[in-house]
Amino acid sequence: MKNFSELNALEAVTLYQSMNLDEVANDIIKNNENSNLDSVQWPWNREPKAWEHSSYAFGFVPENDSSDQNLSIYEARSISADESLKNSQVTISLDYLRAYDYPGKGKHRVLFKFSAKNYVNESSEQAFSFNQTFAIEEGQRAPISGYPIFVGLTTGNQLLQFDVEMVNVSNDNDDKLLEALENGVVKNGITLINSINPILPVLTEYATGITKLIASRNRNREITAPKMGLYFGKTPSHLKIAKGLYIALQISDPGNFDWSQWKYDRNFGTIRSKDGVHSDLPYNYFAFSISEMNK
């Protein structure tokens, strides 16, 4: 499946019409009246929608035990990796998921697929995935806080690999399927032990199959699928691993986004602009935290 930025204007119009988003399709047509649609590339001569961006900016708020209300946000490539997390077990939690602007209006049901690698020991690793669904009103955040994704994930000595895939579900029959999934076996993340778990490949195959099925329906659409490697070491281009909150911001040009102009307000759990203009980031984003398990 192509992401939005890979479609030409004709493909985009066809896609949006199949999703019953005629207003969005007509906007593309209007802005390309004198052009061959199949020769016009994204963003199709108009401002891109928030869900069409294919890149990410990654911010980081370090673990902090002070009483400060406002905390600084740093570019996640610029921080120093926490070497104490090598070969240790960590917990990854989903703290925020914001649908600032998704295809359609009203309440969105979002299928969120989590994937990671568990580095059991120096010679063994195990990849796995599982799904969860969230209901989010347009322009708001999912009603979650500190939702456990992986408990006891082993980092290894080089990196932590962590991927996500989000699908906006618009098909009523798929809504019913996802309601059944919400009552399934894996509802509160995956708890790992320091050995190869034979049940994880089964869960992974199930999660992958469901995600492909849901994403393939005409009115459903993958919003984004970022792949993240959080590294030890000092390579400038790498995201670094440390204890704290990571903010993954869906945007077209992450190189021009300045995290220093934003702050994390811990009293309200919001990401605000320092100039007071924005009470929350005007983008789609999710945020996850990494904490070390008690030894």
User: For 258-278, what is each residue's pLDDT tens digit?
Assistant: 999 999 999 889 999 999 999
Q: pLDDT for 126-145, tens place per residue?
A: 777 777 888 889 999 998 88
Mean pLDDT for 35-49 is 94
pTM higher than the cut 0.75: yes
The Cα 229–Cα 175 span in angstroms is 32
Q: Note the pLDDT of residue 13.
A: 94
Which residue in the block uniquely carries the two structure tokens 């928030």?
50
Q: Is the pLDDT of residue 182 over 80?
A: no
Q: Note the pLDDT of residue 171.
A: 43
What 3-state class would DSSP assign to 156? coil
Distances (CA, A) of 125 to 108, 116, 199: 35, 10, 14
Q: pLDDT for 55-65, tens place per residue?
A: 999 999 999 98
Of 190, 164, 174, nearest to 246 (Cα)? 164
> Between the ranges 155-169, 179-193, 253-267, where is the mean pLDDT highest?
253-267
Contact 271, 71 (CB under 8 A): no
Distances (CA, A) of 2 to 12, 44, 60, 169, 258: 10, 16, 29, 17, 29
The Cα 24–Cα 44 span in angstroms is 11
